[in-house]
């Protein structure tokens, strides 16, 4: 079975069918893209996979285990990391604190945690700091470790969010429009960062994206979603010339 597999997933918001009979197979180490016009249902698909919404119909499997309908933190703990379309960062925390928080969130302390010895807690704290710094180094933002997120350029904030997603040690990383609002230079850096993360950590990556250049450079396969339905999927070249894709994007500025 694929690392991430979605079968016959359909979702309704009231009377609106936001996603229709959606399927996905993501293999270990693969980078796939999901494109489609505004409101097509792309973010909803991420929210259904990551447990923010429970699909009206269908099944999601991660590494052979069914995760349909589990709570988001349980799904994250099973190896699914994600970033959000609108940055979801705490503006008044430092970069390092953000990534460390994510490490902590993996541990269900509960009552036992309350009685954890202080020495053990210190050792763990040290370990989280080291692992967080390692991630920041990999994403080339270690020099910002002690800075407040609110003061950083947008492109760096995006990488902080990615570092936070990686801190949960995912097998699969879902990125929701990681380049929205970025300058050309930030875009270039983001492509490099994703390449690097993909190579070093051997992750499977699933990316929602508007910018074609980005999709072309990174993805081995692309799905096109229109009104909640996949109308075309295949290699990027194939997709760009697909009549249904051209029709769906008619009048839209792809490079936005
Ligand atoms: N929580 C919700 N409740 C009701 N309707 C919703 C909810 N979330 C999304 N929708 C609707 O579902 C449809 C798909 O929205 P979604 O955000 O998934 O689109 P998208 O492809 O990510 O668009 P964009 O490119 O603008 O980010 C839209 O019609 C949207 O209004
Ligand atoms: Mg969206």
Asked whether residue 139 is assigned to any structural domain, the reply reads yes
Asked whether residue 94 is assigned to any structural domain, the reply reads yes
Q: Which residue's C-alpha comes closest to atom 16 of ligand 1?
A: 41
Q: Which residue's C-alpha comes closest to atom 1 of ligand 1?
A: 13
- Closest ligand 1 atom to residue 40 Cα is 21
- Closest ligand 1 atom to residue 228 Cα is 14
Question: What's the pLDDT score for residue 103?
Answer: 78
Ligand 1 centre and the CA of 43: distance in Å? 7
Asked whether residue 112 is assigned to any structural domain, the reply reads yes
Ligand 1 centre and the CA of 41: distance in Å? 5
Asked whether residue 115 is assigned to any structural domain, the reply reads yes
Neighbours of 133 (CB within 10 A): 15
- Please write the tens of the pLDDT for every residue from 205-222: 999 997 777 888 899 999
Q: Which residue's C-alpha comes closest to atom 29 of ligand 1?
A: 39
Ligand 2 centre and the CA of 38: distance in Å? 7
User: What residues line ligand 1, using a CB cutoff of 6 Å?
Assistant: 13, 18, 36, 38-44, 85
Q: Which residue's C-alpha comes closest to atom 7 of ligand 1?
A: 13
Asked whether residue 175 is assigned to any structural domain, the reply reads no
User: CA 127, CA 92: separation in Å to the nearest integer?
Assistant: 23
Enclosing domain of residue 135: 89-151
Q: Are 5 and 25 in contact (CB under 8 A)?
A: yes
- Please write the tens of the pLDDT for every residue from 122-135: 888 888 899 999 99
Q: Which residue's C-alpha comes closest to atom 12 of ligand 1?
A: 18
Q: Are 190 and 154 in contact (CB under 8 A)?
A: no
User: CA 212, CA 209: separation in Å to the nearest integer?
Assistant: 8
Ligand 2 centre and the CA of 210: distance in Å? 10
Asked whether residue 203 is assigned to any structural domain, the reply reads no
Residues in contact with 155: Cβ distance below 8 Å, sequence separation at least 6, in sequence order: 182, 183, 185, 186, 189, 190
Q: What is the pTM of this model?
A: 0.91
Ligand 1 centre and the CA of 42: distance in Å? 8
Q: What is the pLDDT along the chain (256 residues), one digit of tens a residue?
A: 899 999 999 999 999 999 999 999 999 999 999 999 999 999 999 999 999 999 999 999 999 999 999 999 899 999 999 998 887 778 788 999 989 988 776 655 554 555 666 777 788 888 889 999 999 999 999 999 999 998 899 899 999 999 999 998 999 999 999 988 888 888 888 999 999 999 999 999 999 997 777 888 899 999 999 999 999 999 999 998 899 888 887 666 555 4
For 51-79, b/e burial (b = at least 16 CB within 10 A) is bebebeebebbbbeeebbebeeeebbbbb
Q: What are phi and psi of 252, to 5 degrees?
A: -95, 145
User: How many domains is the chain partitioned into structurally?
Assistant: 1
Asked whether residue 120 is assigned to any structural domain, the reply reads yes
Q: Which residue's C-alpha comes closest to atom 26 of ligand 1?
A: 38
Tokens of 94: 């430092």
């Amino acid at each position: 079975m694929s690392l991430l597999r979605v079968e016959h997933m359909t979702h309704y918001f009231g009377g609106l069918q936001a996603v229709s009979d959606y399927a996905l197979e993501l293999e270990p180490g693969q980078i796939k893209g999901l494109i489609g016009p505004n409101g097509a249902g792309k973010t909803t698909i991420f929210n259904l996979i990551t447990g923010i919404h429970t699909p009206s119909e269908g099944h999601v499997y991660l590494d052979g285990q069914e995760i349909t309908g589990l709570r988001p933190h349980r799904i994250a703990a099973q190896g699914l990391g994600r970033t959000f379309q609108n940055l979801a960062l705490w503006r008044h925390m430092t970069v390092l604190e953000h990534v460390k928080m994510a490490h902590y969130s993996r541990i269900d302390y509960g009552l036992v945690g309350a009685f954890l010895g202080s020495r053990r807690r210190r050792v763990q704290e040290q370990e989280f700091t080291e692992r967080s710094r390692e991630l920041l180094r990999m994403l080339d933002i270690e020099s910002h470790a002690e800075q407040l997120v609110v003061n950083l350029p947008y492109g760096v904030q995006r990488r902080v969010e990615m570092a936070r997603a990686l801190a949960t040690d995912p097998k699969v990383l879902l990125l929701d429009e990681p380049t929205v609002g970025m300058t050309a230079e930030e875009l270039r850096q983001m492509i490099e960062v994703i390449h690097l993360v993909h190579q070093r950590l051997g992750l499977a990556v699933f990316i929602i994206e508007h910018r074609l250049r980005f999709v072309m450079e990174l993805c081995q396969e692309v799905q096109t979603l229109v009104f909640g339905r996949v109308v075309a999927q295949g290699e990027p070249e194939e997709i760009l010339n697909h009549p249904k894709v051209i029709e769906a994007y008619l009048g839209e500025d792809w490079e936005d």
